[in-house]
Amino acid sequence: MNHADNPLLPREFRVSKIARETHDSFTMELDPAKGAKALHFASGQFNMLYAFGVGEAPISISGNPGNPRTLTHTIRVVGPVTKALHGLGIGDWVGVRGPFGTNWPVRESMGKDIVIVTGGIGLAPLRPAMYEIMENRGKFGNVVLLYGARTPNDILYEREVKKWRSQFDLHVNVTVDRAAGKWKGNVGVVTTLIPNVHFDPYQATALICGPEVMIRYTVIELRKRGVASENIFVSMERNMKCGIGHCGHCQLGPHFVCKDGPVFRYNQVKRLLDIREV
Amino acid sequence: MKREDPPVILDSKHLGLLLESLKKSGYLTVGPTVRDGAIVIDEIDKVTQLPVGLTDTQEGGTYRLQSRKDAAFFAYNVGPHSWKKFLFPPEQRLWTLKKNGTKFQFVDIADNTTRYAFIGVRACELQAMSIQDRVFQNGHFQDSHYMNVRKNIFVVAVNCTQAGGTCFCTSMGTGPEADTGYDLALTEVITGSLHYFVVRSQSRNGAKVLEALPHKPATAAQLKTANEMIAQAEHEMGRSLKTHNLKTLLYENYEHPHWEAVASRCLTCANCTMVCPTCFCSTVEDVTDLTGENAERWRKWDSCFSQEFSYVHGGSVRVSAKSRYRQWLTHKLGTWVEQFGTSGCVGCGRCITWCPVGIDITEEVRRVTNGK
Ligand SMILES: Cc1cc2nc3c(=O)[nH]c(=O)nc-3n(C[C@H](O)[C@H](O)[C@H](O)COP(=O)(O)OP(=O)(O)OC[C@H]3O[C@@H](n4cnc5c(N)ncnc54)[C@H](O)[C@@H]3O)c2cc1C
Ligand code: SF4
Ligand code: SF4
Ligand code: FES
């Protein structure tokens, strides 16, 4: 079996760009080794990123699916692997396995309104969906992005978010849990934004990524507005070792989050989200 | 390809020739042998290394070897090992990586080219292998390590003519007779002074090996005796499990109080997952050598009974023992069906026998589903 067919072998990518996002997160661009093929991906998919000798972590692809030559990842530094990735410089080597998992139903939602609700680092896996939507803007109805961060300093992609907010064809609302100083925006959890935002609940697809509690409350608010649960999509998170349905770690009831997810139709996981410790 | 030749008789004194013939064909022969008071699976060169004249008694949390009055080779039930240790080893190097200037190079993809002959595979274990096939080679992604070994094995199955105290393969529809997935299948018959095997071959490889051994056609009477002995095993099952509607019943009982009761006894020692022939969970370990120039990734068996298993930043998903036991049992008998189109349990009874506190999957299911 050659390298390309073996899903257990990382491929060689080079760090081509690094940007600081917040005090604990950064965005890294990776290019394939010379002569190697690009990895085509869809919005919502993830890669297993390998730091030499340290280990692997599942990280969503946060770049533009229309430009697969560059793999963009936004990473929050929390432990050994993410720390090691943070320690890399331009030209350094990263192992990549992927792309894995299911994607946001962006194409399938053409002709409808899109409501994106996300918190913290959860914006990263939704940015590819934003790019896809923006590139086909005419094909969607209202496009709403509701984004919650802990503090104003925790907002990802600050310049891009600012640009989106200034666009007449997007409704972008940002809120923070707590604010000090200059912040003039919303304060409070992201779910409080849902009741007042303009979209057609009967003609909308909702895409949610964030902690499970946030998902639960977001769904409640969306359902109150009248969004049907089959039109709500959520991205789930579980421990992952293999990414290919072989190691068992990512199980959520009958689902392997790595291959049946991370993006699920809410109906698929609804019951499981209501049970503790599944 | 499955083919079925007329069954033949191999005299017990020629069993050694079978081993020799397999070894001559380049197989590493592995089979049951006694170590530390239990019948384990290991490399065997001669039939005398088999557990000749021994049997076992098994109960919840209990395993004992005993002698028999005869010189039977296979008159016991499954022990703590299973064949998965060869196909999906407890520890396995997945690859080695070398820093080469600024380039990185995979220098070893650890392709195991050993050709194993499995001697004495029981019907439930054949099914366990076919279940792991679904996990490692029949899905969207294939595991080349598993497949490399899998494609080369020669399987000598043995039909059970007695059942153990923790066996319930008839409930799971997996035994006691091997029906598919073997090269040769033996039924050991001892009556009076006669000691022989009824042998069926199911593959070209099997037929070839059999051809070279002294054998004669089986008579109707011999076949009848063999069948009766297998039927005997069917009636001796020490445990049973109702599988009808089980997946649904388990899904409806995620919050049943009995999970808590099991958890109060469970030591979360993971014995049950280690002995189970279908459990496939693993973790990986990444290491570097002292120079920092070479890195390796190892895959090791893991268990849903450990708290770290479900760790995500900020804490584990399954903190309580209750949630971990529930995950294991519900996976085995419920969610597995959705994932792989088959139950994850073959009824081998190992998890019952080797649980230090005798927790019994069949009994816990009865409680959790209120006996339905
Ligand atoms: C589908 C998916 C997409 C993700 N996308 C991103 C992303 O875009 N950006 C980002 O910063 N983080 C993302 N995460 C979380 C990220 O994988 C973890 O933060 C990371 O594994 C932590 O590894 P560590 O060694 O640095 O830290 P530790 O917390 O010490 O991790 C130790 C081990 O625990 C496991 N683990 C810990 N946290 C998580 C977690 N949250 N999810 C899964 N496994 C975990 C890993 O197996 C890891 O090897 C994603 C997780 C999943 C499942
Ligand atoms: S769950 Fe228990 S009885 Fe079933 S296959 Fe595994 S070890 Fe055997
Ligand atoms: S059920 Fe028994 S064998 Fe399994 S983890 Fe609990 S105590 Fe250990
Ligand atoms: S991450 Fe291994 S099964 Fe999903």
Architecture in CATH of A11-100: Beta Barrel (2.40)
Residue B240 falls within a domain, yes or no? no
Distance from CA of B91 to the nearest CA of A (A): 13
Residue B116 bridge partners (DSSP) = B28
If asked whether residues B166 and B259 sit together in one domain, one would say no
pLDDT at B111: 75
Interchain CB distance below 8 Å, A238 and B312: yes
Task: With CB atoms and an 8 Å threshold, state whether A248 touches B282.
Answer: yes
- Residue B45 lies inside a defined structural domain of this protein: yes
Residues with CB under 6 A from ligand 2: B 275-278, 332, 345-351, 361
Q: Tens digit of pLDDT for each residue in B173-228?
A: 999 999 999 999 999 999 989 999 999 999 999 999 999 999 999 999 999 999 99
Q: Give A241→chain B minimum CA distance, Å.
A: 6
Q: Select from B195, B215, B235 the last residue of a domain.
A: B235
Distance CA B335, CA B250 (A): 9
Task: Give me the DSSP letters along chain A.
Answer: --GGG-TTSPEEEEEEEEEEEETTEEEEEEEEPTTPPP----TT-EEEEEETTTEEEEEE--S-TT-TTSEEEEEE--SHHHHHHHT--TT-EEEEEEEES-----GGGTTSEEEEEEEGGGGGGGHHHHHHHHHTGGG-S-EEEEEEESSGGG-SSHHHHHHHHH-TT-EEEEEESS--TT--SEES-GGGGGGGS---GGGEEEEEES-HHHHHHHHHHHHHHT--GGGEEEE-----SSSSS-S-TTEETTEETTTT-SEEEHHHHHHHHTSTT-
Q: Do B139 and A245 touch (CB under 8 A)?
A: yes
pLDDT of residue A2: 44
Ligand 4 contacts CB of residue A251 (under 6 A): no
Nearest ligand to the C-alpha of residue A87? 1
Rg over alpha carbons for chain B, rounded to the nearest Å, is 22
Binding site membership of B272 for ligand 3 (Cβ less than 6 Å): yes
Residues B303 and B170 placed together within one structural domain of the fold: no
Can you tell me the distance from the alpha carbon of A119 to that of B301, in angstroms, rounded to the nearest whole number? 35
Confidence of residue A1 (pLDDT cuts 50, 70, 90): very low
The pLDDT of residue A262 is 98
> Do B133 and B225 lie in a common domain?
yes
Averaged pLDDT score across all residues of chain A: 95
Ligand 4, residue A242: give the atom nearest the CA: 2
Same structural domain, B21 and B112:
yes
User: Which of A1, A8, A248 minimises the CB distance to B94?
Assistant: A8
Pair (B150, B77) in one structural domain: yes
Tens of pLDDT, residue by residue over B79-105, are 999 999 999 999 999 999 998 877 788
Q: Do B215 and B352 belong to one domain?
A: no
Q: What mean pLDDT value characterizes chain B?
A: 95
Range of the domain at B87: 8-235
Residue B193 lies in a domain: yes
Cβ neighbours of residue B49 closer than 8 Å, sequence gap 6 or more: B31, B33
B266 belongs to a structural domain: yes
B49 closest CA partner among B12, B16, B23, B87: B16
Structural domain contains residue B205: yes
pLDDT band of B3, cuts 50, 70, 90:
low
Say if B301 falls within a structural domain: yes
Q: Is A137 in the pocket of ligand 4 (CB under 6 A)?
A: no
Residue A138 and residue A152 in contact, taking contact as beta carbons nearer than 8 Å:
no
Mean pLDDT of A179-195: 92
* Pair type for strands B38-43 and B28-35: antiparallel
Residues B42 and B104 in one domain: yes
Q: Is residue B241 part of a domain?
A: no
| pLDDT over 60 (residue B134) | yes
Does residue B17 sit in the same domain as residue B105?
yes
pLDDT, mean of residues B257-271: 97
* pLDDT for the residue numbered B110: 67
Cβ contact A229:A270 at 8 Å = yes
Q: Is residue B228 located within the same domain as residue B261?
A: no
Same domain, B311 and B209: no
pLDDT at residue A255 in the model: 98
- Specify the residue for token string 């949610």: A208
Angle, vertex CA A51, rays to CA A49 and CA A55, nearest 5: 85
Q: Which of B349, B338, B256, B351 is closest to B304 using CA atoms?
A: B351
pLDDT score of B296 more than 70: yes
Q: Where in chain A is the domain with CATH 3.40.50.80?
A: 107-235
Residues from chain B that touch A238, judged by Cβ atoms under 8 A, are 310, 312, 317
Amino acid at the residue B98: K
Confidence of residue B1 (pLDDT cuts 50, 70, 90): very low
**Per-residue pLDDT tens for B17-29?**
999 999 999 999 9
CATH 2.40.30.10 maps onto chain A at 11-100
- Show which of B184, B205, B235 is a domain's final residue: B235
Last residue of a domain, one of B203, B235, B267: B235
Percent of chain A with pLDDT over 90: 94
Number of domains in chain B: 2
Pairing of strands A11-22, A93-100: antiparallel
A107-235 maps to CATH 3.30.70.20: no
- Same domain, residue pair B61 and B208: yes
Q: Is the CB of B305 under 6 A from ligand 3?
A: yes
Residue A186 has pLDDT above 70, yes or no: yes
* Other beta carbons less than 10 A from residue A55's beta carbon: 20
Residue B64 — pLDDT band, cuts 50, 70, 90? very high
Q: Are residues B78 and B197 in the same domain?
A: yes
Residue B85 lies in a domain: yes
Is residue B162 predicted with pLDDT exceeding 80? yes
pLDDT at B371: 81
Q: Any idea which of A29-38, A115-124, B84-93 has the lowest mean pLDDT?
A: A29-38
